[in-house]
Structure 1
Amino acid sequence: MGQIRAVLCGYYGQGNAGDEALLASLLQMLPPYVTPIVLSANPKKTRDRYGVESCSRKAFFPVQQALRKSDVFIWGGGSLMQDATSALSPLYYAGLMGLAQKRGLKTIAWAQGIGPLNRNLTRWITRKAIAGCHAVSVRDRASAALLTDWKIPYIQAPDPVWALDSKPVKGLWDLPAPRVAVTLRSHPQLTPARLDNLTRALIDFQKATQTCILLVPFQASQDLAIAQSIQPQLPGASHIFSLKDPRELKGLFQGVEMAIGMRYHSLIMAAAQECRCFALSYDPKVSLLMEELNMPGWDLTQLPDDPNLISQTWLEHYVNGDPLSPHQIQSLVDRALMHRDLLSDALGAK
């Protein structure tokens, strides 16, 4: 079989570790006869980190050239088609998908988390773009229900990051144990009052457990300032881990007893490494993950006002909570590899 060229399109090169983890998972799962061209907001960093060809995602002529010399177009994983944060984002992704389909490329919507779609226009555009794809996979039952309603064939499997390879983190094992990882991000629902309550709860929790707190920004522009504001207030050992390689981020959780997280992929990475997890949901995708894994947590809008109640709840889960069993994790990993099988089946011939 000859080499196939594939354009990979997602929220890549934006400094978001979750989307970088999806790109790393996609590259890991691509058949060896596929040469990727990644559309990125930072092509140089993408080339250097993954050793792949990359071009600017918003440079019209390079993108056109990449499509002209390719056989396949793949929407990378994640919540690309949603209008909760931006009405323009789905127009961009649907526009590229439509252009690829018009050029006759084989098109794949891969590991999608579709929605929320609050506008009729973005809902219509999403349906039209996905209906034109040769193959579709989704990562949650809400997306699956939507495609069922639209009568579009698909496979449903857990997020690909469950199956992402991990790498050891330099210096992690030099820090005192036990360790607890915390991943918070800026969001309208994380009000100053709620952040203050979480910080006070974390202080009490650390005093009670004598744990080393690892503050883990997943996107520096949204997470780092919060981590930097919390760390000086902690009475015990702590460390901020700003890791760029998503495989190292996943590896970080190998040395962690418990994770408290807002970030969707921080909870997946932690659960995959047998951590106890406690979720703080700001988005339907996090709430769905909590339901699917029976993961304890709160919707941020329902966060208790009493820091003592928060810390006591965390302490109870730290002492008595159970991580996923190795059997449960292996089942999720095996099913996540269905996204790899879809790629192999779809790309088996031009």
Structure 2
Amino acid sequence: MNKALISGYFGFGNIGDEAIKIVLRKELSSLNVYPQFLVKEVKEAGEIKRDNLWDIIRGVVTSNFVISGGGGLLQDRTSSRSLYYYLSILILAKIFKKKAFIIGQGIGPINRNINRILTKITLNKCDLISVRDGASKKLLEEIGVKKEIFVTQDLSFLYEIEFLKKDLSHTQYNILQVKGRENIDIEEMADIARLMHDKTKEETVILPFFRNVDEPFAREIEKRTGFKVLVKDNVDEVLTIMNSAHIIVGMRYHSLLFSILLQKPVLPIFYDNKMRNLSKFFELDGIDIDKLNLPNFSKAFDTLLKNEEEIKKRIKDKLPIAKAYARKNFDLIIKYIS
């Protein structure tokens, strides 16, 4: 059996990244590959503490190949330190003569010139690069990556949604999925939550995806509106809540992706290009975060309500294509390890 060491943002409580981890474990195991994940804290077999250098080196040495992915790991929007960490794992792989794969990632933004140079040097040594959208490929080509770059889709499109029970603890509701640490006026967001209720006569449920970052912001909206915050750390529990919703307004990338998986009418709020790229693939309209105010939201929300059946049909038609592109990530892995 082959072994793979996998770096990603695992164990921090971000629902999207935990979905990616579940997909990687299942799909790699089906290829007779034993995955070892770098995580914040070790909780089960097949995990290595991500800040323990010697355990990481041991994991690289005992693996047949190293995977970086998926999600948006290679970027310096949050910090350069994060970018250096993920590049260093790939460099370690090459030092110990292991294959290094970048799988299903959304790349960027990478703004600092030194970060672009380091990314170019590192990725030109990788054996396989697949990215989840054309914009990521374009960015890598712009910074000088010469390796072949495959355009696939986010790994979470392969998340297996089995039977999801209906959430019967609420009457009909809509979801406002919020993202913390953005420059958004809290009063404006409270007004948006109220407007969703007023226009549909349905409850607004506020849903964080990343407890430590999103929940404080969500609680401030709850305090001002009385609308309930639901905090779940399990992917299936989050999907169950979303599956029972009527309309979803999403600020995080995987809230948009999960809405698409569930074929729900969704209004994305674009905080960076990865949201725009996914929305473009499914021909979905959204609102730029810097233009988010009550009048603009009201207009976009009215359009969504008017066209929700058409939106659901568009999603249904394009979803099999997205899933096929996501599957391509693992087809490429098979090719490159054989």
* CA-CA distance at 1:137 after TM superposition: 0.7
Q: Give 1:311-350 correspondences, 5 Å limit.
A: 311-321=298-308, 322-323=311-312, 324-348=314-338
| Partners of 1:251 and 1:168 in 2: CA distance | 9
Say whether residues 1:273 and 2:267 are aligned partners.
Answer: no
* CA-CA distance at 1:171 after TM superposition: 6.6
Deviations 1:292-323 (A, max 9, x none): 3222221111123xx35533531441243322
| Partners of 2:156 and 2:115 in 1: CA distance | 27
Say whether residues 1:210 and 2:201 are aligned partners.
Answer: yes
Match of 2:174 in 1: 180
| Partners of 1:325 and 1:93 in 2: CA distance | 33
**Aligned residue among 8, 13, 16 for 1:15:** 13
Deviations 1:239-263 (A, max 9, x none): 4332222244334332222110110
The code of the aligned residue for 1:42 comes to: E
Deviations 1:52-102 (A, max 9, x none): 411110011111121221111110212211112101111111111111111
What is the percent sequence identity of the aligned residues? 24
User: Which stretch of structure 1 is more off in the superposition, 205-214 or 80-89?
Assistant: 205-214
SS class of match (1:244): coil
Work out whether residues 166 and 248 of structure 1, in 8 Å CA contact, stay in contact via their aligned partners in 2: no
* CA-CA distance at 1:123 after TM superposition: 0.8
Match of 1:90 in 2: 83
TM-score w.r.t. length of structure 1 = 0.88
| Partners of 1:299 and 1:313 in 2: CA distance | 11
Say whether residues 1:244 and 2:242 are aligned partners.
Answer: no
The code of the aligned residue for 2:92 comes to: L
**Aligned residue among 121, 137, 147 for 1:152:** 147
TM-score w.r.t. length of structure 2 = 0.91
The code of the aligned residue for 1:39 comes to: L
Work out whether residues 243 and 262 of structure 2, in 8 Å CA contact, stay in contact via their aligned partners in 1: yes
Unmatched 5+ stretches in structure 1: none
The code of the aligned residue for 1:313 comes to: A
SS class of match (2:171): coil
SS class of match (2:48): strand
Higher relative contact order (CA 8 A, sep 6+): 1
| Partners of 1:144 and 1:308 in 2: CA distance | 35
* CA-CA distance at 1:232 after TM superposition: 4.3
Match of 1:127 in 2: 120
**Taking structure 1 as reference, are residues 315 and 146 closer, same or farther at Cα in structure 2, changes over 3 Å only?**
closer
Say whether residues 1:104 and 2:97 are aligned partners.
Answer: yes
Match of 2:41 in 1: 42
Work out the number of aligned pairs and report it: 332
**Taking structure 1 as reference, are residues 60 and 259 closer, same or farther at Cα in structure 2, changes over 3 Å only?**
same
Match of 2:47 in 1: 54
| Partners of 2:69 and 2:243 in 1: CA distance | 26
User: Which stretch of structure 1 is more off in the superposition, 332-341 or 25-34?
Assistant: 25-34
**Taking structure 1 as reference, are residues 345 and 173 closer, same or farther at Cα in structure 2, changes over 3 Å only?**
farther
User: Which stretch of structure 1 is more off in the superposition, 140-149 or 261-270?
Assistant: 140-149
The code of the aligned residue for 1:5 comes to: K
